Amino acid sequence: MSSIQRKILTMSVIVLFIMATIWVVLTYYNQKTQEQYNDILQRYLHMNEVTEHSHQTIIALNNYLQKPSTVLRDAFNQSKEQIILAKLQSVSLRNQDNAYTLTSYINMIDSLVAAADLSVMFLEEKLPEQSAEKFEEAARIDKYIAETTITLIDKEVRTYDSFYRSIIEQSTELKRLGLLLFSLITIMLLLFTYWFSLSITRPIHKLTIAAKELSRGKFDKPIEVHSNDEISFLALTFDRMRVNINNLIFEIQQKAQLESELQESKLLLKESQLISLQSQINPHFLFNTLDTLSKKAYLDGSEDTSDLIANVAGLLRYNLRRLDRAVTLAEELSVTLKYIEIQSARFTDRLRFLQEIDENCLHIKLPCLTLQPIIENAVIHAVEPLEEGGIISLRIYAKEECVMIEIKDDGTGMSEEKVRHILTESGISDGTGHSTGIGFSNVVKRLRLFVGDEDVIDIESKPDQGTKITLKIPMARSAAKNV
Amino acid sequence: MRKYIIISLFAGCLIILFFTLTSMVKMFSSHLKEPSASVEMHSSYRLVLITLELDTPFWAKVEEGAKAAAEKYNVSLEVWGTYGTNRDDFLKNIEVAIASKVDGIIVQGLDTDEFKNLTKVKAASRGIPVITVANDVPMNESLRRTYVGSDHLVAGEIIARQLVSDMGFRGKVVLMVSDRQEYSQRSRLAGILNVLSPYEGIVTKIVAAGDSREEVAKATNQLLNDMPDADAFIAVSANHASSIIQEISKRMQVEKFFIYSFDDSPATLSLLQQGKIDALITQSPEAMGEESVSHMVKWLTGEQFPLNPDGYFTDIKVLRAGDTP
């Protein structure tokens, strides 16, 4: 049986039970009072009956004495029997107060019957005078009986006075009690019904509000319904559904994010590969030629030219490697130094390069062509446009499980807006003018994807005050990647 | 708003609950107690005391004594009486008692034929014992079992002796009697005459009067006219003394007469204190009531058989003027 149904049934049964109990009690009391009334009336009727029958006996006797016949004699006998019967009944009227009078009363009836019998007997023995005398006596006794009846009734009223009064009192009390009970039950039922209906409707109301919230798309509010019926079950399943939906949505969001990240890195890779393919135009021819040129210059005694050409060839070879492979910082550094050598040959004194390197940090891995484009960027913006040249310093050091790579120049610097542009990667990947064709923003993106963290680059720059770019590569991360 | 309604409903509920509970407690705790119906027949004797003068203090005392005795012996006693001296009702009461087959009748004796007929024929034939109290009726005429009360003969003698000692051996004495001529009165008269007759110097005159005040007054007037030199009055019938004194005081000094009475009602007692009555006889009504009941019970139980036919006499005392009653 379901719980709400049981609740309703229980309530109906309780109400029915209370009503029935009250009805039974009141009916019982009414019945009792009724019986008492009947008893009282019965007593009076009994007394009256005796008087009635005694009169009848006298009348019947008189009739018989006037005109002796068997019919009248039978009538007399019959009324005599009736009065004897009435006498026997009146014995039950006895109580403490009227015992004396009642005994007298009963004896008087006996006397009456005896006198009447004697009267009849004398008549039959042809003694009319004695018969008349006895009749007179019987008539007198009849009168006394009537008087005693009144005395008895009088006594009855006196004896039962308090009893009658208490009956009246009780019946008024009963009426009052009935009214009070009625109002009490009415109010109690109102309260109970209110509470009962609330216990059903309140959870439903809560559920409705929760459903509304869900339909508005708010999945994060827990549904709480305290109740012991089906509604709570409903609420529980509803809440479970909410939690499930919430989980699903979260998963979908995560998946979408992962997918977009994957897409991005693929695109970047393709771009780099395309660029590297472009520069693969007959590389062997170019390398061989550059080697030949280097040897020729060496043979011609121009050792500087020979080294320069060898550096260019090394740079080119490094550039042509697959870009999706990680390299150590040491490799990256050697390429960068080759590039600086080439640029030093170009700018002579205008380019001053300072380096401070912690050899312990060189084993970490990072994406290919990360350092070189940034140095190149510094050369382009801090040395090339200025007639007096500039200083570029490179510092590599360890700090809190991370390797910090710091590139500093004293060039024109950048505006804050531009710095933000670079950091949010919103700038167009501008690789033109770079030897490797890879722009600054490309480097930042690849680095972030590689490390898996947004916080890899920090730019400090102000117009005309130089720029300081710091890369932060965690050691643990790169080590893990190595494994 | 809703909260207020609920709170007020709740409060109302509590109040009504309180009233309902008190009403219920009242209802269920009050058991209607019907006067207990005793089905078994009363085994105790049913006696009846019938008097002719229910209104006098004398009979009230008799009733008191009888009721005390009835309680003591655990018998039921009813006192039936008539107010004034309604003889028909008195006789009817006796007849009712006989018809009711009571176990015993204690009755103030009445010296009439109807009374004797009732006691002799009806009561005796039904075996109902009759005891006369205070006033006697001769036994052979009434077939009463016994008599309980003052010995009126002795009372008469006492009062007569008192008279002689007060008045001396010479004088005219008026004896006022009731014209009903009851047996007790006759006894008193006999007692008085027994004492007075030897003295030759004392002349007695018997005057009969009715029971009402007017009749007594009339008789006294007549007497004073006929015999203005009377020395003493004896009110033989109990109720006459005050009327006589009232009548005498209209004409002359009451104090110079010797007046005696057989009545000890408060009115007569106050006359005694005033010195208007010289002496009176006091009887013992309570003892009469008590003893009559106890003798009746003893006779019924067979404890005392037979009863003394002459009667059982209760104390009498003479109270003189100046004695504190």
> What is the ipTM metric for this complex?
0.75
Domain presence at residue B20: no
The number of beta carbons lying within 10 Å of the beta carbon of residue A124 is 11
pLDDT means per 10 residues in chain A (483 residues)? 79 88 87 87 89 92 89 91 89 81 89 91 89 90 91 87 84 86 86 83 85 83 78 85 90 94 89 72 75 88 86 80 76 88 86 88 85 85 83 89 88 80 63 63 81 82 85 69 41
The pLDDT tens digits for B297-311 are: 988 888 877 888 888
Q: Decide if B2 is inside a domain.
A: no
Give the pLDDT of chain B (325 residues) as one tens digit per residue: 778 888 888 888 889 889 888 888 887 776 666 666 655 555 678 899 998 888 788 888 999 999 999 999 888 888 988 877 778 888 889 999 998 889 999 998 888 888 888 888 888 888 889 999 988 888 888 888 889 988 888 999 999 998 898 888 888 898 988 877 778 888 889 999 999 988 888 888 888 888 778 888 888 888 888 888 888 889 887 677 888 888 888 888 877 888 888 877 788 888 888 888 888 888 888 999 999 999 999 888 888 778 888 888 999 888 887 765 4
Q: Is residue B81 a contact partner of residue B54, using CB atoms and an 8 Å limit?
A: yes
CA distance A249 to chain B (A): 42
Report domain A321-482's class: alpha beta
Q: What is the pLDDT of residue B324?
A: 56
- pLDDT value for A94: 81
Q: Do B310 and B167 fall into the same domain?
A: no
> DSSP label at B42?
P
- In this prediction, residue A481 carries a pLDDT of 44
User: Distance between CA B199 and CA B170 in Å, rounded?
Assistant: 8
Asked if A94 lies within 8 A of B38 by C-beta distance, the reply is yes
B91 found inside a domain: yes
- Are B145 and B289 within one domain? yes
Q: A390-399 and A351-357: which strand pairing?
A: parallel
Class of domain A3-159: mainly alpha
A–B interface: beta-carbon pairs under 8 A: 104
Q: Where are the domains of chain A?
A: 3-159, 226-278, 321-482
Of A29, A160, A190, which has the smallest distance from its Cβ to B9's Cβ? A190
Whether the CB of B125 is below 8 Å from some CB of chain A: the reply is: no
Measured CA to CA, the distance from residue B160 to residue B260 in angstroms comes to 9
B95/A contact by beta carbon, under 8 A: yes
CA distance A37 to chain B (A): 12
Same domain, B125 and B189: no
Shared-domain flag, residues B182 and B265: yes
User: What are the φ and ψ backbone dihedral angles of B200, each rounded to 5 degrees?
Assistant: -75, -25
Contact: A36, B9; criterion CB under 8 Å? no
Domain at B106, CATH number: 3.40.50.2300
- Whether residue B174 lies inside any domain: the answer is yes
Do B134 and B156 fall into the same domain? no
In a domain, B28, yes or no: no
Question: Is residue B105 domain-shared with residue B163, that is, in the same domain?
Answer: no
CB distance B35–A96 less than 8 Å?
Answer: yes
Query: Per the CB < 8 Å rule, is B100 touching A104?
Result: yes
B21 touches A: beta carbon within 8 Å: no
pLDDT of residue A479: 45
C-alpha distances out from residue A357 to A252, A330, A362, Å:
46, 10, 9
Q: Is the pTM of this model over 0.90?
A: no
| E runs forming strands in B36-75 | 46-51
Distance CA B266, CA A135 (A): 47
Measured at the alpha carbon of residue A383, what is the angle toward residues A378 and A387, in degrees to the nearest 5? 165
Chain Cα centroid distance, residue A67: 106
Let me know whether B109 and B256 are in one domain. no
Range of the domain at B292: 46-150+285-314
Q: Concatenate the DSSP letters of all residues of A156-177 into one string.
A: HHHHTHHHHHHHHHHHHHHHHH
Q: Do A167 and B32 touch (CB under 8 A)?
A: yes
Same domain, B164 and B261: yes
Residue B18 lies in a domain: no
Picking from A30, A34, A39, A100 by the largest number of B CB atoms within 10 A of its own CB, the best residue to mutate is A100
* CB of A30 closer than 8 Å to CB of A174: yes
A413: Cα within 13 Å, side-chain hemisphere? 13
CA distance A279 to B90: 166
Same domain flag for B167 and B245: yes
Give the chain A residue nearest B96 (alpha carbons).
A144
B87 shares contact with chain A (CB less than 8 Å): no
| Contact between chains at B35 and A92 (C-beta distance less than 8 A) | no
Same domain (yes/no): B249, B295: no
Are residue B178 and residue B215 in the same domain, yes or no? Answer: yes
C-beta of residue B79 within 8 angstroms of C-beta of residue B65: no
Domain count for chain B, please give it.
Answer: 2
Q: Strand A390-399 relative to strand A402-409: parallel, antiparallel, unpaired?
A: antiparallel
Identify the CA nearest to A371 among candidates A248, A461, A470: A470
Question: What pLDDT does residue A278 have?
Answer: 67
Contacts of A268 (CB under 8 A, 6+ apart): A442, A445, A446, A449
Whether the CB of B5 is below 8 Å from some CB of chain A: the reply is no
Indicate if B156 and B188 belong to the same structural domain. yes
